[in-house]
Structures are given as structure tokens and as C-alpha cells.
Amino acid sequence: MLRSRQEQRRAWWQASPAAIWLGLFFLAPLALIVLYSLQSRANDGTVLWTWTWANYAQLMRDSAFWRTLWLSIWIAVVVTAITLVISYPLAYFIATRPRRWRIVLLFGIMIPFWTNFLVRIYAWKVLLGNAGVINQLLEGLGMQPLNLINSRLAVILALIYGELPYMVLPLYAALERFDHTQMEAAYDLGANHWRAFRRVMLPQTMAGITAGAILVFIPTVGTFAVSDILGGTEGFMIGNLLDLHFRTTPNWPYGSAISMIFMLMLLGAIWLYFRVTKEVPDGENPG
């Protein structure tokens, strides 16, 4: 509760760096994108300043856009789901070790990420390439080489690898806070492992799952470097489409319209996520 006008003024003054930062680096670029998306493209590729809804109208009919958007969301959902399934037991394992081991294990998860991001993606190219490590191994064993590179599989694998720590850390934080005696209490009251997990541990670690899922889903759905290097035409995602319109073609107004629709879809997806997870087991339904 703010008591005086003076205090109120001071509060504003203290918050102003954050406000300036937000305005300069977040609101202004966003306004710019909205502005661009309502213009059209001149023949030389520059922006032609004429107010129009044409970009949005064209987007609605652009099947390539919708296919790319759908593929991006599909890949991001798969990556987020698999990362969650791998990370939860991993985070649980780390959180239930003795204290000094937890630090060592968390460190172990982060160390690979001190290497440059692009270097790590190229490492996957070396692993999965047609003359890569895996295929050389297969040939050495007298088997047919596999086409691993330039595929959705390659993109998904590399994304799971890259996003894992962003899922493990919030889950670890949630599981470390969790009082594990509660699981014993649940068993004691007749719950088997699954029901104890679903009714006691899962609801209390839901915040960690949500944080992890958002931290993984957002960068994944908008990725462009990973799909560019490992995806080929099969892994062409929304990030690559934007890259095409802002760099190659260029058509900034159309690219801006794609950005806007994409962002609205993401906000919708997150809103839906919160709606659904709010109804997750919280007691009323008797197992």
C-alpha cells in the first residue's frame, strides 16, 4: 500500500528504467512490426507506404504458410513433450541425491552448453550426416546407411538436446522444494506409485512443468538456425519462412504479417495451456 503522493512519485521514478527498457526494446519494435504489416512491398523490395489489409488477406489463403506454421507447432509440441518425459525423471533423480551430488550433476548438465550454439548444431551434422559418424558405424557393421540429415528427425533430436537444460532446471527447482515424505504418506494411505505421483507429486510440481514447457516451446517453435542447418526442405519451419521474407525476397510487410499471426497463435496456445492445466488433478476427482 502506497501511503503518500511522494512515495508514489518515488515508486514511479524507481520503476522508470524498467519502463524505458520495455518501451525501447519491446513495445517500439512490436509497434513497428504492426506498422509494416499494414504496408505493401515496392517492386525493388522496399516498403511501400500505403495502408492496406492485403497482407493479412493473402496470408489467409497462403497454404504454404499454414503448412509451415502447422509443422512448426507440431515439431515444438513433440520436442516439448519428449523433453518433459526425459527431464522429469532426470530432475527427480538429481533432486533426490545428497546435496553435494546435486550440484555436481546440475553442473554436468550445463557444461556442454558452454560451447557455442552453432558449433553444437554442426556437431549434430557431423553425427547424422550421410558420411557422418553414425552412418560410418553402420557401414562398418555391414548395414545400409540411413538418411538422417535434412529431416524432421534431425531437427527434433537437436532441439531436444539443446532445450533439455531449460526443462531440467525449473523441474529440478520444483522437485527440490517438494517434501518427499508426502509420497510416503500417500503410499501409507493406500496409493500405489502411479496414484501417489498423480495426486500428490504432479500437482505440486505443475508450476515447474509449466515453466519448463514454456521455456522449451517458445524458442523451439520459432527456431531457425537448427532447422536451417539440419532440416533441409523437410524441416522448413516458420523461422525459416520469416528469414526468407526478411532477408532473401525481401518482403518486410508480408513477413511482418506472418509475425503478427504467429504471435497471436502462440498467445492463444499459451492461454489454452493455462486453461487446460488449471483443471489438472487437485483433489476433487477421486482417483
Closer Cβ to another protein, 196 or 226, answer by number: 196
Closer Cβ to another protein, 84 or 206, answer by number: 206
Query: What DSSP character marks residue 40?
Result: E
Closer Cβ to another protein, 98 or 286, answer by number: 286
Amino acid identity, position 135: N
Our finding on whether 139 is near another protein (CB under 8 A) is no
As measured in angstroms, the least distance from the Cβ of 92 to another protein is 18
List the interface residues with another protein, window 195-224 (CB under 8 A).
195, 199-200, 203-204
Amino acid identity, position 31: A
As measured in angstroms, the least distance from the Cβ of 223 to another protein is 35
Count of residues interacting with another protein (CB under 8 A): 22
Looking at the chain, list the stretches that DSSP marks H as alpha helix, in order from N- to C-terminal side.
5-22, 28-37, 54-61, 63-95, 99-110, 117-128, 133-140, 152-177, 181-188, 193-196, 202-221, 225-230, 238-243, 252-277
Q: Which residue is it, cell 531449460?
A: 166
As measured in angstroms, the least distance from the Cβ of 189 to another protein is 4
As measured in angstroms, the least distance from the Cβ of 177 to another protein is 11
Torsion sign over Cα 193, 194, 195, 199 = positive
Of 37, 97, 101, give the one whose Cα is nearest residue 251: 37
Q: How far apart are the first and last CA of the chain?
A: 43
Our finding on whether 98 is near another protein (CB under 8 A) is no
Mutual orientation of helices 152-177 and 99-110 as an angle, nearest 10°?
160
As measured in angstroms, the least distance from the Cβ of 244 to another protein is 47
Interface with another protein (CB under 8 A), residue from 23, 179, 267, 274:
179
Our finding on whether 45 is near another protein (CB under 8 A) is no
Interface with another protein (CB under 8 A), residue from 52, 192, 248, 249:
192
* 48: CB partners within 8 A, 6+ apart: 39, 40, 41, 42, 253
Q: Which three cell numbers stand for residue 38?
A: 499494414
Our finding on whether 143 is near another protein (CB under 8 A) is no
Q: Is 43 left (phi over 0), alpha (psi -120 to 50) or beta?
A: alpha
As measured in angstroms, the least distance from the Cβ of 206 to another protein is 9
Q: Which three cell numbers stand for residue 267?
A: 498467445
Interface with another protein (CB under 8 A), residue from 188, 248, 267, 271:
188
Interface with another protein (CB under 8 A), residue from 17, 98, 142, 286:
286
Interacting residues toward another protein by CB under 8 A: 179, 181-182, 184-192, 195, 199-200, 203-204, 282-284, 286-287
